[in-house]
Chains A and B, each alone.
Chain A
Amino acid sequence: MYERDQPGLPARAGIGLKASHYREILEGNPDPGWLEVHPENYMGGGGPPHHYLGLIRRDHPLSLHGVGLSLGSADIPDPAHLQRLKALVERYQPGEVSEHLAWASHGGVFLDDLLPLPLTRETLDHACRNIQQVQEVLGRRILLENPSTYLRFRDDEYPEAEFLVELARRSGCGLLVDVNNVYVSACNHGLDAAAYLASLPAALVAEIHLAGHSVEDVDGRELRIDDHGDRVAGAVWSLYRDFIQRVGPRPTLIEWDTRVPGLETLLTEAGKAQRLLDDCQVDRHAAV
């Protein structure tokens, strides 16, 4: 039975919680391993979002996955935004709190996108300072997710995986590994997704994301776009299977944010991830 106060998230497959599924989750009694929301959608004072999240939280583990802190900014995190996040963490007691290696705000303007960073020592310093500040205010470790990127900067001083590992070591944050993002970025930049995943120390990996993406043709060259609008691609499933075989079962989320399908479809995708997690546990036991 689920105990509301147990720490962390279960190493099971979860799904993103959508407003269109509130009632079905409350009334239909489905059993996703856990649920994830963007805290930015719950930063109003009251009303239906808080009403439903409060009810659903009684029965399900929850993760708060932010898109608005802009941890990669040269600016420090907006204190008002951080306080709103802190209030949500106190109210809903999530198993994990996560954000992205990206920037979204500059000079008081919020662009609502996960924008790419030059992977330099200067960026590392800014991101490390920002993560530490967030962890201090929230009083807990957060997780940092690798983004999908469509460009890279000439002055990068680190490969992305190495940058993330260094950042986790310096700031004390954990890693949320989005296998779809690893695949999308690797395809877009002609890099090796499997090598990227292989370079991440298992001890730093606390959560995994899976999602669908689309493929665009740009002047005859393929560009993969992380639109969270489809089933998880076959290549991503096989990277995921290999990854959890190595690092062990981890809480794994199916993200689906555009053209959101019925709850049943999300649960079916989560079921696929759950079977791989189950296999992985069996294999690991067999190996002992």
Chain B
Amino acid sequence: MRLSELQGAFRDHLLGGDASPTLTARVLEDGIPVARRLAVYRNNVGHALMEALGAAYPAVRRLVGEDFFAAVARDYTRAHPPTRGTLIGYGEGFADYLDKLPAAARLPYLADVARLERAWLVAYHAPDAAPLQASDLAHLPPETLPALRLRLHPSAQLLATHHPVREIWAVNRQPGPVPAMRLGEDPDYFLIIRPRLEVRIRPLSAGEYTFLRALMDDATLTEAFEAALAVAPDLDLQTHLHRHLTGGSFAGWQAPPREGDNRP
């Protein structure tokens, strides 16, 4: 058997398949049954991948408990093993997987907690950039502002969840007892961002979320304002824009085309 076939058979066994006779026939028994020798590797791989998933989703792990998490992680990591030689970024589809998992149906908010944890992790490892300051825009002629395109910080993640999960997330990322919580019905909107070293989770109103989402999709300030006002006619856009400018939500801007890219 060629090396490639051996490694294919070994991999399939590590991911839950039976040990093929071509694999077991090649392993030296030498006092310890071949199955037990292979089990050392299978346990190591299972444990490593479970820990990688658990490190990415600590609140989910705590919410469902160790036994349940181990079972879900075993099935998930076998069905969706890592494809890159680093585990940074592993577990991308875990929230959608939980959404469809019948065993998790009694915790309808679980997938949303996973989405928030995922956004936190993506922001944590995102490329760094110096946040834009309000003063960076001060020299722009006022008539250029309506067509200005503000670029969100490279770490910025916008998230709309079906369940209000911020408090559930927060208490389950800390050690200590979990207090009783009353869950509302409204969806939650978040900006998850790391302007410098620490990841911030900023709750947003629906209008504010729509405004930032439009900017992320490359809208001009005017277009983004209009989109936000369609959702929330009373929205105080000046205040929100100021808050995001001072809070480091942006990392650059592009003036109208005739002036070219004026990123300072």
Contact = CB atoms under 8 A, between A and B. Distances in A.
Interface of A: 40-41, 43-51, 68-70, 73-75, 78, 80-81, 84, 103-113, 115-118, 120, 122-123, 126, 150-155, 189-190, 218-219, 221, 223, 225
A151 B7 contact: no
A110 B197 contact: no
Contact of B86 (A40, A106, A150, A223): A40
A190 B30 contact: yes
21 contacts: A40-B88, A43-B86, A46-B128, A46-B155, A47-B124, A68-B84, A74-B3, A78-B84, A78-B85, A81-B84, A107-B11, A108-B83, A111-B81, A117-B3, A122-B2, A122-B3, A123-B3, A152-B28, A153-B26, A189-B30, A223-B40
Interface centre among B34, B86, B126, B194 (most CB of A within 10 A): B86
Interface in B1-51: 2-4, 6-8, 10-11, 14-15, 25-28, 30-34, 36-38, 40-41, 44-45, 48-49
Contacts, number: 141
B11 A150 contact: no
B256 interface: no
A2 to B, nearest CB: 26
Contacts of B10: 106, 115
A110 B82 contact: yes
B52 interface: yes
Interface string B125-153: 11110000000000000000000000000
B183 interface: no
A74 B4 contact: yes
Contacts of A221: 31-32
A152 B45 CA distance: 18
Interface in B183-204: 194, 197
Interface centre among B30, B48, B154 (most CB of A within 10 A): B30
A176 to B, nearest CB: 19
B85 A81 contact: yes
Contacts of A80: 84
Nearest to A110: B82
